[in-house]
Structure 1
Amino acid sequence: MPPLLNRLWRRVRATVAPVPDISATLWLQTVQRYPFLAALSLHDQAKLRVLSALFLHHKEFHGAHGLEVTDAMAIDIAAQACLPLLHWSDPAKALGWYDDFVGIVLHPGEAVARRQTMDEAGVVHEHTQVLLGEAMERGPIMLSWQHVSNATENTARGHNVVVHEFVHKLDMKNGQPNGCPPLPAGFMGTRTGRAAYEAWWAAWEPAYEQFRERVIMAERFGADRPWLDAYGATSPSEFFAVACEAYFVNRERFAQEFPGLMPVLDAFFQRPAG
């Protein structure tokens, strides 16, 4: 490990005790595998390593269908899961956003879930749904390792299943996800909780409706497909998750597509100016 990065790691790690260690070799391999992690400053990489170490200390990984979860795989997921928390107070407090679950289940590829829906007549219909990931309220997170590991292609497209599912957990902090997580006091200079939520929805509602319209035009009338994952058009909560994954892994392109959401997300994730 470069001496500067090693010093930064020790300095940040000293602010939290006790902190389990992450192998320097494995950590560097993780950072190098994911372009959006490699682009972080050395200080932010060191802080993310501390967050990831604490995360790994409190979470349990389980492989489905015979998948063996290695240390390298767990570190890859921890680093991406902690990315949204990078600038939130001290690491231990930041990880409180993820305190409603312990288990993370990894599938080798896509998972198939059985679902039930009820129509307007009260008839229950059963169907299957293919999943790349799923966050369950006050329950575990499921991820497809195939999609976690496909870093380069997914980054270019603004996709990241880990960030997607973990920001759902942020959205669930107040109960059922609705596209608006709990907002901090003084959010964007507001003085009341009501004003904070009004500021949030003033940016998100028009962005969601415009995106939904673009997806409809593409799917029904052959217009150009939007860059952002069309799954975000299914609901405000999915739009929030899809937008966040793009914001974290391809910030430059996301800023071009959704300039009005950048200051809101920067404020929520407490990204330093500059």
Structure 2
Amino acid sequence: MKKKFSIKKIAFVAVVALLTMLVAIGSLSYFYQDKLIALFVEELNRHLKAKVEVEKIDFSVWDKFPQAAFTLTKPKIMSSADSSVVLAQAEELYFTFSLRDLWHKQYKVTELSMENGFIKLVVDEKGNPNYLVYQSADTAAGDALSFNLEKITLKNVAISYDNLQTKQLYDTHTDDLIASLGITDKGMEIAAKGNVLVKAARIGKQTWLREKQVALNTLMLLDTDKQHLTIKPSELRIQKAVKLQRIEP
């Protein structure tokens, strides 16, 4: 009987401790949300070279629990080549960090999640890309908030790449794609894995794929100095093992 009572008591104490912790976290987020949002906007401006329009910015510990999240509602990120052209747009954009950071007051944003939107990557006839909008920024040891994006998740996002110089067009859509981001001296390394619907893949006047599901595992290198994107040897598994073939337009 004592053993049964002890188990109940331990369970009760654990529940009370959990509720106390959640209330404390909720209180911290409520009282510090304006300060946190101001820090976030300041740091975001240090990393973005393009204009950003957003309906509102919120901070919550519940939207992406057990991560804390800055939520951008209806954000528009403009092109680096032309500030009037939209590079990316979404219903929601989440930047998340560990709840433990709230206690230490050192906030490291490590994940980005984009939901219900599109990304339009374009290279013009002269070879100028529109997507060089992110830049690394030196972070001092005392900075309260910093960006160290390690994971990017895309859910229900259309992605297109249109290179007008090399006459290549890739029009795709993904319901769930996960990417990791690494900053190097020369630029960025982007590793991506997930399922993608290739609506069209065209080189010159030849269409090689249309309306095919593809399991993707790839590594891309973005040289920001040379403004050059390199796609390393990648693993592509096409629906029903269909071979690449030319499709007449």
Provide the TM-score with structure 1 as the length reference. Answer: 0.27
User: Quick check: which one's helix share is greater?
Assistant: 1
From the CA coordinates, give the structure whose radius of gyration is larger: 2
User: Quick check: which one's strand share is greater?
Assistant: 2
- Does 1 or 2 have the higher relative contact order (CA < 8 Å, sep 6+)? 1
Provide the TM-score with structure 2 as the length reference. Answer: 0.29
